[in-house]
Copies of this chain bind each other. A is one copy, B any other.
Amino acid sequence: MSEGKLYAIGTGPGASDLITVRAARLLEKLDVLYAPAGRKGGDSLALSIVREYLGEQVEIQERHFPMTANADEKQGVWDEVALDIENDVRAGKQVGFITLGDSMLFATWVFLLERLHNKGLALEVIPGISSYSCIASAAQFPLAMEQQSMAVMSCTAEPEVLTAALQNHECVVLMKVYGRFQQIRELLRELDLVEHAVMMANASMETEVTYRDLMAVPDDEKLPYFSTIVVNRAWSAKISG
């Protein structure tokens, strides 16, 4: 029996051709692929990204990871999936687990890594393009240069924390804007950074939207879930695009 192995694969932000060549080649030869599904029975975005690369033999295991605040429920689901994956690897299978964006940044995959790193399993992690890299490229809006620095923040952080980041770093990526856009825009306005900010939703997908003038976004705009703001004090949003 061949040795089983687990591959954690970053799918990148959304477009199928933004996965790495390494990931594409691997997806062709896997035995099993675990894919996170956003809602029970719902489509997996990560799965839709990689589907064209999957070999015919690949068995797909969609798993639902609840977005609940109930820690016990989450832990239970992670424990269960980790055990299933471990069993597949021990049975000699080539097992994939796909995760949106990069595999090691804000990736649920790391909860599995915590459970599997000390099991003695063969394990390889394949990085993916982060949403903000894709946004910077698509909007032609640079991140950091030379002596500058970049902070990647979640908009769920306290306003003081976001303010400090916006003051200390030339480039700040604001993830998880969803549901917090008006407060974030107000903060950027106070710090005189609105003209140095670009927002993009669903980067690299067919539904991609770019907002180069945040002040022009209506208060009641229905922002897509995957909306991210990139701020660069050293670059004007009006230069790009």
Residues of B within 8 A of A119 (CB): none
**Nearest opposing residue in chain B for A20, CB measure:** B18
- The B-contacting residues of A in range 127-173, CB under 8 angstroms, are 127-130, 133-134, 136-138, 140-154, 156-157, 161, 164-165, 168-169
* A223 contacts chain B at the CB level, 8 A cutoff: no
Of A25, A117, A143, A157, the most chain B CB neighbours within 10 A belong to A143
* Binary per-residue interface labels of chain A (19-61) against chain B in the complex, 1 for a CB within 8 Å, 0 otherwise: 1111011000000000000000000000000000000000000
User: Which residue from B24, B125, B141, B168 sits with its C-beta under 8 Å from A104?
Assistant: B141
Contact assessment for A20 and B25 in the assembled complex, using a CB-CB cutoff below 8 Å: no
* A15 contacts chain B at the CB level, 8 A cutoff: yes
Residues of B within 8 A of A22 (CB): 15, 17-18
Residues of B within 8 A of A165 (CB): 149, 168
Residues of B within 8 A of A126 (CB): 137
Interface size classification for chain A: 35 or more
Q: How far is the CA of A149 from the CA of B151 in the complex (A)?
A: 7
Q: How far is the CA of A145 from the CA of B149 in the complex (A)?
A: 20
Shortest C-beta distance, A120 to chain B (Å), equals: 13
Contact assessment for A25 and B17 in the assembled complex, using a CB-CB cutoff below 8 Å: yes
Q: How far is the CA of A10 from the CA of B104 in the complex (A)?
A: 19
User: Which residue from B10, B12, B136, B157 sits with its C-beta under 8 Å from A105?
Assistant: B136
A-side interface residues toward B, CB under 8 Å?
8, 10, 12, 15-22, 24-25, 102-107, 110, 113, 117-118, 123, 125-130, 133-134, 136-138, 140-154, 156-157, 161, 164-165, 168-169, 239-240
Extra contacts besides A102-B129, A161-B168 (12): CB < 8 Å: A17-B22, A103-B133, A104-B137, A104-B141, A104-B142, A105-B150, A106-B143, A106-B144, A113-B140, A125-B136, A127-B133, A144-B152
